Chain A
């Protein structure tokens, strides 16, 4: 009897995994089918499928044509694979997603691996996000990775990384350059000053 209950209870869950209703309700069937295949292949290699689903829904919401949505989702899947490979098998979902954004900002896998080497046991999502933010603001990857690495070495917390952007904004409004603001923060942390 318990076997019956187990089967009845788990089969619909597995069907749900195989066919995400959000895709099929909003995208043309041919596009939804291709996205579903990409999401399924992500699950098979233990990568998060949700970012792929969200990328497809973003494309639909922004009025992108189907082939462009599929191309974007496939590119994101490749970036997720590369990020996980660079960050190691222990990388959690938010780290993999941050790593994918790093790569899509023009960063490279060796720098991600370097950050992991600097801080092998801590969560890197906030740190990588800060580095990515610097690159989208025009920093070179070398400079962004070096600044992130120095913050990690200085034992910056996730909150430090998240606050850094606000500090840069304040410093820039006061006439400083973003790079000078970051270096000032690095020096502050390295001196042991932990004031928020």
Chain B
């Protein structure tokens, strides 16, 4: 028995390619997919950019700092009005680390957090007299005619 006309028509419609709907629904779906891809591409670029900037920042900042040890410095200078701690760790800046009077008469103290390393330093008394630290090693050279101490922080 032959198919009814409506069935043959339906079969023909199913075999034919689907045309986009005229209301633009398919176009909106396709556009949304494209938008989603663009957003993901943009996000990926931003991520790569952030990673590159972080790497550059790390290079700019130099190697990671090692843990710091708090080192205590102490000197006995009974007649001093002012004592400073000056050395490699403060670029030999005479004003960077002023010392405080300690509990004992004539005692001057300070503490400095230092990363592991090798340091040279001295005490500057009243902006005029350099004194090596009697509690530490004396630097062997005296290039500038003033005593210097050595400190190894491990």
Is B107 an interface position by the 8 A CB rule?
no
CB of B140 within 8 A of CB of A54, answer no
Residues from chain A with a CB closer than 8 A to the CB of B92 are 54, 57-58, 60-62
CB of A5 within 8 A of CB of B137, answer no
State which of A13, A51, A94 has its C-beta within 8 Å of the C-beta of B60: A13
Known A54-B92, A58-B148, A94-B117; contact A2-B140, beta-carbon cutoff 8 A: no
CB of B140 within 8 A of CB of A72, answer no
Once the chains are docked, how many angstroms separate the CA of A58 from the CA of B86?
A: 9
Once the chains are docked, how many angstroms separate the CA of A97 from the CA of B118?
A: 7
Is B76 an interface position by the 8 A CB rule?
no
Main secondary structure, interface of A, reads: helix
Is A136 an interface position by the 8 A CB rule?
yes
Q: How far is the CB of B5 from chain A (nearest CB, A)?
A: 64
Is B154 an interface position by the 8 A CB rule?
yes
Is A78 an interface position by the 8 A CB rule?
no
Is B110 an interface position by the 8 A CB rule?
no
Interface size, A (range): 35 or more
Once the chains are docked, how many angstroms separate the CA of A161 from the CA of B36?
A: 64
Is B31 an interface position by the 8 A CB rule?
no
Q: 23 interchain pairs (CB within 8 A)? A: A2-B52, A5-B52, A9-B59, A13-B59, A22-B91, A51-B88, A55-B143, A57-B92, A58-B92, A58-B148, A59-B143, A61-B86, A62-B145, A75-B141, A93-B117, A94-B152, A101-B139, A132-B137, A136-B138, A136-B139, A136-B140, A162-B154, A165-B137
Chain A residues close to B by CB (< 8 Å) = 2, 5-6, 9-10, 13, 22, 51, 54-55, 57-64, 68-69, 71-72, 75, 93-94, 97-98, 101, 104-106, 125-126, 129, 132-133, 135-136, 158-159, 162, 165
